[in-house]
Chain A
Amino acid sequence: MAENVKPKVRVPKSASAGEVITLKTLISHPMESGQRKDSDGNVIPRSIINRFTCEFNGETVIDITMEPAISTNPYFEFEAKVPEAGTFTFTWYDDDGSVYTESQDIAIS
């Protein structure tokens, strides 16, 4: 079980209808690859976040399959279209079954 997992997202406070905005997400997670060994030579078991999704009012923006090659504290930057005011929901799925979510509202200016 990964500890102190803390998602951070950056979403603009407002956008005009139909505007394309940039979203940035970061989550603190060790992303243990399953390739490393401890000081006794035992393989440290894999423990990563294997999937990340971003939705806006229930519609998918991006759905990312993550493999052990994704760095510690996974960072993603991508763009989304904002057709109306609503909520962005970000979800991270951990190997251990934990699900981390974060949401952010956006207004139409």
Chain B
Amino acid sequence: MTITRRQTLIMAVGAAVATALPFGAFASVEDHITEFTGGAELGNEGLTLTAPTIAENGNTVPIEVDAPGAVSIMVLATGNPTPAAGTFNFGKLAGSQMASTRIRLAQTQDVMAIAKMSDGSFVQATQEVKVTIGGCGG
């Protein structure tokens, strides 16, 4: 079979769309990170993100962040339509830089936490959560 010019064009457009879609979601996660860190480098030590490896119900996934010495911790659900999940800002009377809550996950994805430390550095922790039933259903 010979491939016509038109077919080539259609394939090229299809490939471009296919690559552009996941990249679009990824860029938005990047935007959130840049906005929070100002482009600073991320360390890997000092932040503990606790989340289940398998979440049967994506509507309520318990997560916990713990970063001694942090000023604030941002949580991102990288595979959600809107990746930001929440930001914890610790005040003067915080007993520890720990907090737990429940979040929604649309699908199996990496949950990411970034902590801003009191010395101005940033650390991150990531964990993959497998979701059986997604939490953004309609």
List residues 82-129 of chain B with CB under 8 A from any CB of chain A: 82-96, 98-106
A65 to B90, CA, bound (A): 11
Q: Is A70 an interface residue (CB 8 A)?
A: yes
A-B CB contacts (within 8 Å), total count? 110
- Does any Cβ of A come within 8 Å of B81's Cβ? yes
Q: A71 and B94 in contact (CB under 8 A), knowing A35-B138, A64-B88, A65-B86?
A: no
Q: Which residues of A contact B84 (CB under 8 A)?
A: 67, 69
A61 to B96, CA, bound (A): 10
B93 contacts A59, CB within 8 Å? yes
- Contact across chains for A70 and B104 when beta carbons are under 8 A apart: yes
A77 touches B99 (CB 8 A): yes
Q: Select B86's contact among A56, A69, A77, A80, beta carbons within 8 Å.
A: A69
Give every chain B residue within 8 A of A21 (Cβ-Cβ): 95
User: Complex formed: what's the CA distance from A35 to B103 in Å?
Assistant: 15
Tell me which of A67, A68, A83 has the highest count of chain B C-beta atoms within 10 A of its own C-beta.
Answer: A67
**Number of residues from B at the complex interface, CB < 8 A:** 34
Structural contact, A36 and B103, CB atoms closer than 8 A: no
- Give the residues in chain B near A13, CB-CB below 8 Å: none
Quick check: B99 and A76 within 8 Å, CB to CB? yes
* A60 beta carbon closer than 8 Å to chain B: yes
> Residue on A with the closest CB to B76?
A69
Q: Hey, which chain A residues are within 8 Å of B86, CB to CB? A: 64-67, 69-70
- In Å, the complex CA distance between A56 and B101 comes to 21
Whether B102 pairs with A37 at a CB distance below 8 angstroms is no
Can you report 25 A-B residue pairs in the complex whose CB atoms are below 8 A from each other? A33-B136, A35-B81, A35-B138, A36-B137, A37-B138, A61-B90, A62-B91, A62-B94, A63-B88, A63-B91, A64-B86, A64-B101, A65-B87, A67-B86, A68-B104, A69-B83, A69-B85, A70-B86, A74-B102, A75-B102, A78-B88, A78-B95, A78-B96, A80-B95, A81-B95
Task: List residues of B whose CB falls within 8 A of some A CB.
Answer: 59-61, 77, 80-96, 98-106, 135-138
